Amino acid sequence: MKLAICSKGEGLSAQVDERFGRCPYFVIVDTEREDQVVSIQNTNVDAAGGAGPQAAQLLAGVGADAVALGNVGPNAVEALKAAKILVYSGIAGTVASAVQSFKDGKLIPLSEATVKSHSGMGSSRGGGR
C-alpha cells in the first residue's frame, strides 16, 4: 500500500505535520517495501483557497492509497473519498514512527472532517486547524 504522510520535511526522519492541505511535504511510503520512499513537495501550501482538495488531487496523481494526517477539512475529506484514498488520523513524531503506527493498527480511520470548513476565512494562516 502506498501511504502518504503529511510532513514538515523529506524522508523517514522528517517530523510529521498536523495539517493536510498546507503541509510542506508528503512522504509516500510503500508499506510492504519500506525501501520505496518518495518525498513530494506540496505545491498547495500557499494556495489562496481549496488547498485540501488540491492536495487530494496531488496524492491521487501519485497513486496514494491512503494518507496519514492530523487534521482535515470537509472539502478535503470529500475529495479524498472521491479519489478512493483512505484517511487515517493520529500521527505524531517522525514519518517513520507514523508508518510504524499505521502498521501496528494504531492510527484512527476517518470518514469525517476533523475541522470546520475554512471557506470565508480571511486568512490562510490558520495552520489548517
Domain containing 74 equals 2-110
3-state helix, strand, coil in the chain (%, to 5): 20, 25, 55
For residue 116, is it within any domain? Answer: no
84 has pLDDT over 90: yes
Distance between CA atoms of residues 89 and 110, nearest Å:
7
33: domain CATH number is 3.30.420.130
Mean pLDDT of 60-83: 95
In a domain, 118, yes or no: no
Q: What is the pLDDT of residues 85-120, one digit of tens each?
A: 999 999 999 999 999 999 999 999 998 998 887 554
How many distinct structural domains can be found in the chain? 1
Distance separating alpha carbons of residues 114 and 129, to the nearest angstrom = 8
pLDDT at position 21 is 93
Assess if residue 122 is contained within a domain: no
The pTM score is 0.87
- Is 117 a member of any domain? no
Digit-coded pLDDT (tens) for 3-58? 999 999 999 999 999 999 999 999 999 998 867 899 999 998 888 889 999 999 99
Residue 13 forms part of a structural domain: yes
Q: Is residue 40 part of a domain?
A: yes
Cβ count near 77 (within 10 Å) = 21
58 in Cβ contact with 39 (< 8 Å): no
How far is Cα 128 from Cα 25, in angstroms, rounded to an integer? 14
Contact yes or no for 127/117 (Cβ under 8 A): no
